[in-house]
């Protein structure tokens, strides 16, 4: 039988060997070890999230909430729980999941650590009930706070990146769709919309899933054109809706508050309505007539200038924009543009992306 020990404050942490534990004490030691391990796990996970809030997002509010949670977790980490630790005898310390060895993006790293913290808090909530009458409810509350933090943080990251994005690639069917999008991402693209008006849903699901993974691995946002169901199915960052698509409020209800909803607008009335209905961004166009949206009359540069003066949310000039005329669109007031053909049909999408971004970066948009 394993010799048991107990932590004695009076011996400065020296473990004093005593009689073997009674069955009841043995169970108590197991519970203590579970609590000790999960208190550590929760704090470590929170610290990893906190570092991103502090250095990546520069957000005092999120950093403070992580810190408060860490401190509250630490308050429960008593010396008797620490004393129950048995690292050499813990078979779990050598078990790592292959996914822990590789993270494809900061987003997946954050998601994995939120998951880790939530699991640890759930364990603390349940086993804590055996330790202290208030521990279960304290950790239940913390678990809900972590859910709220995760949802707010992910939403904040999306909005921040949306506001930072200057160039928006809207895709059209192409044999080289994935490689073209990747080339543009290599050039610094941070916002992609999957748009295929003719494919069947099997192909749409397949391509959208690949593109979402690709975009997220480059830290870019991924939006789905028209289809809220597809956006949810592939875990996209949001949806783009035209005037004939579903109401913004309905999309928001389905997607939740943290995903992005964009709306096409062609005139001032549509712009004001989109803003009032809670769109996160708008398309402003067509600036020029374009075969990609054949038959839609141009709204022109005058509407670009109107958007510059009147839009309180990010807006993307769209329609017939290319490397030759982008400076006219910028001169009319555009700080962000959305493009189909000039990127999808480009021989060197990386170079075209870099050029378009270099022109857009000459003007500064308002920040988030
Ligand atoms: C950024 C952006 N702006 C406008 C549109 C056009 O949307 P919509 O009017 O719904 O037309 P379709 O793209 O669905 O043909 C867009 N997709 N993206
Ligand atoms: C998809 C789309 N929406 C528009 C709008 O004005 O709402 S213009 C457009 C097509 C833009 O394609 P290209 O960059 O190839 O001209
Ligand atoms: Mg549409």
- Tokens 């109107």 map to which residue? 306
Question: Which residues of the chain fall below pLDDT 50?
Answer: 1-8, 11, 14
- Specify whether 84 is located in the same domain as 174: no
Asked whether residue 305 is assigned to any structural domain, the reply reads yes
Q: Are residues 112 and 49 part of one domain?
A: yes
- pLDDT at position 367: 77
For residue 308, what are the contacts with CB-CB under 8 A and spacing of at least 6?
332, 333, 334, 335
Query: Does the annotation mark 210 as catalytic?
Result: no
User: Ligand 2 mean position to 288 CA, how many Å?
Assistant: 9
Cβ of 119 less than 6 Å from ligand 1: no
109 burial level (CB within 10 Å; 0-12, 13-18, 19+): middle
Q: What is the rounded distance in angstroms from the CA atom of residue 238 to the CA atom of residue 253? A: 12
Instruction: Summarize pLDDT for 272-300 with one digit per residue, the tens.
Output: 999 999 999 999 999 999 999 999 999 99
Answer yes or no: do 85 and 136 share one domain. yes
Any catalytic annotation for residue 264? yes
Domain termination site, one of 158, 175, 200 = 158
Q: Exposure pattern of 297-323 as b/e (b: 16+ CB <10 Å)?
A: ebbbbebbebbeeebebbbbbbbbbbe
State the catalytic residue, choosing from 103, 107, 122, 293: 293
Q: What is the DSSP letter of 188?
A: T
Percentage of the chain with pLDDT > 90? 84
Residue 317 alpha carbon to ligand 2 centre in Å: 9
Residues 132 and 190 in one domain: no
| Tokens of residue 309, six digits | 């003066």
Annotated catalytic, 68? no
Is 111 part of any domain? yes
Among the listed residues 42, 100, 109, 103, the one whose alpha carbon sits nearest the alpha carbon of residue 69: 42
| Residue 330 belongs to a domain | yes
Is residue 266 in contact with ligand 1, taking CB distance under 6 Å?
Answer: no
pLDDT per residue as tens digits for the range 247-279:
999 999 999 989 999 999 999 999 999 999 999
Ligand with smallest separation from the Cα of 336? 1
Considering only CA atoms, which residue is closest to atom 16 of ligand 2? 320
The total domain count for the chain is: 2
For residue 94, being part of any structural domain is answered with: no
> Is 331 found in the same domain as 189?
yes
- Ligand 1 atom closest to the Cα of residue 244 is 10
Q: Name the token pair of 266.
A: 């062609």
* Atom in ligand 1 nearest the alpha carbon of residue 316: 1
**Protein residue closest via CA to atom 1 of ligand 1:** 283
Query: From the alpha carbon of 288, which atom of ligand 2 is closest?
Result: 16
Same domain, 122 and 196: no
Cβ atoms < 10 Å from Cβ of 223: 26
Nearest to 107 by CA among 62, 157, 46, 161: 157
Distance from C-alpha of 11 to C-alpha of 162, rounded to nearest angstrom = 58
* Ligand 2 center from residue 2 Cα (angstroms): 73
pLDDT for the residue numbered 94? 58
**Assigned domain for 368 exists:** no
One DSSP character per residue, 285-343 reads: --SS--GGGTTPPP-HHHHHHHHHHH-SS-EEEESS--TTTHHHHHHTT-S-EEESHHH
| Rounded distance from Cα 240 to ligand 3 centre (Å) | 7
Same domain for 318 and 179: yes
- The verdict on the CB of residue 315 being under 6 Å from ligand 1 is no
The ligand placed nearest to the CA atom of residue 193 is 1
- What's the gap in Å between 227 CA and the centre of ligand 2? 17
Q: Are residues 134 and 225 in the same domain?
A: no
292 and 320 housed in the same domain: yes
Residue 312, domain CATH:
3.20.20.70
Given the residues 59, 165, 183, 264, the one annotated as active site: 264
Choosing from 111, 141, 158, the residue where a domain stops is: 158
Q: Show the domain range for 9.
A: 5-89+100-158
Tokens of 73: 């977790």
Tell me: do 67 and 154 sit in the same domain.
yes
* Any domain includes 171: yes
319 located within any domain: yes
Q: Are residues 136 and 272 in the same domain?
A: no
Any atom of ligand 1 within 6 Å of the Cβ of 170: yes
- 281 Cα nearest atom in ligand 1: 1
Q: Name residues contacting ligand 2 (CB within 6 A).
A: 170, 264, 283, 285-286, 290, 292-293, 318-321, 339-341
Nearest CA to ligand 2 atom 8: 319
Which of 111, 126, 158 is where one domain is finished? 158
Which residues does 21 contact at the CB level (< 8 Å), separation at least 6? 4, 29
| Active-site choice (116, 158, 166, 195) | 195
CA distances from 134 to 28, 41, 78, 128 (A): 17, 20, 14, 8
Neighbours of 111 (CB within 10 A): 14
Closest CA to 109 of 338, 101, 247: 101
Distance 334 CA to ligand 3 centre (A): 22
Q: 198 and 82 in one domain? A: no
Torsion of CA 12, 17, 22, 25, to 10 degrees: 20
Q: 367 lies in a domain?
A: no
């Amino acid at each position: 039988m394993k010799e048991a020990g107990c932590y004695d404050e009076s011996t400065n942490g020296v473990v004093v060997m005593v009689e073997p534990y009674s069955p009841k004490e043995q169970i108590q030691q197991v519970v203590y070890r579970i609590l000790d391990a999960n208190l550590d796990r929760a704090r470590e996970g929170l610290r990893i999230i906190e570092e991103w809030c502090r250095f990546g997002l520069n957000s005092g509010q999120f950093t403070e909430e992580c810190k408060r949670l860490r401190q509250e977790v630490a308050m429960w980490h008593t010396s008797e729980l620490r004393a129950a630790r048995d690292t050499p005898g813990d078979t779990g310390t050598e078990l790592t999941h292959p996914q822990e060895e590789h993270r494809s993006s900061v987003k997946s790293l954050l998601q994995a650590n939120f998951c880790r913290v939530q699991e640890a808090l759930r364990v603390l909530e349940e086993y804590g009930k055996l330790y202290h009458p208030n521990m279960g409810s304290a950790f239940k509350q913390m678990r809900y706070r972590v859910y709220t933090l995760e949802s707010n943080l992910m939403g904040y990251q999306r909005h921040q990146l949306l506001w930072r994005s200057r160039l928006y690639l809207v895709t059209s069917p192409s044999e080289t769709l994935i490689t073209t999008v990747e080339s543009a991402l290599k050039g610094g693209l941070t916002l992609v919309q999957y748009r295929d008006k003719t494919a069947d849903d099997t192909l749409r699901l397949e391509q959208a899933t690949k593109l979402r993974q690709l975009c997220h691995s480059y830290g870019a946002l991924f939006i789905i054109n028209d289809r809220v169901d597809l956006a949810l199915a592939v875990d996209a960052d949001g949806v783009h809706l035209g005037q004939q698509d579903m109401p913004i409020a309905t999309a928001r209800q389905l997607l939740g508050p943290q995903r992005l909803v964009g709306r096409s607008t062609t005139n001032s009335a549509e712009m004001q309505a989109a803003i009032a209905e809670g769109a996160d961004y708008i398309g402003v166009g067509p600036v020029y007539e374009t075969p990609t949206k054949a038959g839609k009359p141009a709204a022109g540069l005058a509407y670009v200038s109107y958007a510059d003066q009147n839009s309180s949310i990010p807006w993307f000039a769209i329609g017939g924009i290319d490397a030759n005329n982008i400076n006219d669109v910028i001169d009319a007031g555009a700080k962000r543009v959305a493009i189909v053909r000039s990127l999808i049909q480009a021989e060197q999408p990386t170079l075209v992306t870099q050029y378009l971004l270099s022109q857009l970066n000459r003007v500064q948009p308002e920040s988030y």
